Amino acid sequence: MTFVLASTSASRARILAGARVPFLVVPADIDESALKATLLKQNKTVQEVAQALAEAKAIDISKVRPNALVLGADQVLEFGGELLSKCADLAAARALLQRLRGRQHRLISALALAEAGKVVWTHSEAASLTMRAFSDAFLDAYLSAEGSAVLDGVGCYRLETMGAQLFARVEGDYFSILGLPLQPLLAELRLKGVIAS
């Protein structure tokens, strides 16, 4: 069975490739902002928003690839009861990191597998991250070193690079923080016959 990642996330693709999972990349084409706004108006929880976005992506691609197993994934950041979205530019990233500095936030990563337009499996995990009270000089050096790559993640950091230095404490699964809870997914892929059991 063909396994499809309905995402342009380089981090998710790296994780799957590193685990030697065969996959194709076919990005979903959904209006995430509009869907997120609708879900929030319906008073959905942050976890429900992440799950609904993952499912929408999986369904979108599985309708055009009905014979494939399609993975949709999404990650949201909750800070002080507010759902934060990706930053548009480095100025916004700097402002966000200043807000998060010295404080705790939660990352929720959600996955959905779909076949022929129907969701057949879901999973979500939360991680709690506490940023240290880093200096403005460190923040400037960090943004200069990482550049626009920080804009790929909802929190403007990549834990697998210099972003690790932003934190005082990280509680949660490493792969989940990177956007792809790997072990539960691998277990399901073994059940589906995508990888060897």
List the beta bridge partners of residue 125: 109
CA separation for the pair 9, 152 (Å, rounded): 8
29 is catalytic: no
Tell me which residue of 27, 26, 5 sits closest to 14, measured CA to CA.
5
Tell me which residue of 17, 128, 23, 38 sits closest to 72, measured CA to CA.
23
Q: How many helices (H) and strands (E) does the chain have?
A: 7, 7
Asked whether 77 and 49 are in contact (CB, 8 A), the reply is no
User: Which entry of 74, 89, 136, 173 is annotated as an active-site residue?
Assistant: 74
Q: Determine what percent of the chain falls in helix, strand and coil, rounding each to the nearest 5.
A: 45, 25, 30
Q: Enumerate the active-site residues.
A: 74
